[in-house]
Amino acid sequence: MINEIDQYDNNGHTPLMKAAIQGDYDEVKRLLELGADPTIKDRDWNSSTAEKYAAKKSRSSEIHLEVEKLLIDFNPSSENKDKYKPKDPIYDKESKIVYRTSSFSEKLSGLLYTLGFISLLLAPFTGVTMVTAAAFFIIAWIINH
């Protein structure tokens, strides 16, 4: 049974979904603290959760990014639990700041992508073939996946 705070409106959205769509961080936090269920899907054709609505806008909106992170933290079954966690944290005790560094594989794949682009740019002037450039991109992709 759906909690009163999770009632759908005429558009098939819960109040939590509407707040996530609008990027209203304070309202999302308030609703979650009152017990709103972040796992409920809308009644639309795409069956999105509040987290997915925030994620759709998080690339272009800092507040939607913060809303998405909040929803991930409150959702124990989120598939994105590790999405924003630093992979290689370094903790500075004086400033109490955690810095994220690149892993070896990230640095290597970045180097390979760069070599691929340079190979493409220099191909008309040197003996470098498109196959060589493609090989750099493929290896970099394999390292990342």
Under CATH, which architecture does the 4-74 domain have? Alpha Horseshoe (1.25)
- The answer to whether 108 and 142 have CB atoms below 8 angstroms apart is no
Vertex 9: Cα angle to 80 and 16 (nearest 5) = 30
Vertex 140: Cα angle to 59 and 106 (nearest 5) = 60
Query: For residue 100, what pLDDT is reported?
Result: 56
Domain segments of the chain as ranges: 4-74, 86-145
> Mean pLDDT by 10-residue block, N- to C-terminus, for the chain (145 residues)?
82 91 93 90 83 83 86 81 59 57 74 85 80 83 74
Question: First CA to last CA across the chain, in angstroms?
Answer: 40
Query: For residue 84, what pLDDT is reported?
Result: 64
- Tell me 32's DSSP state: H
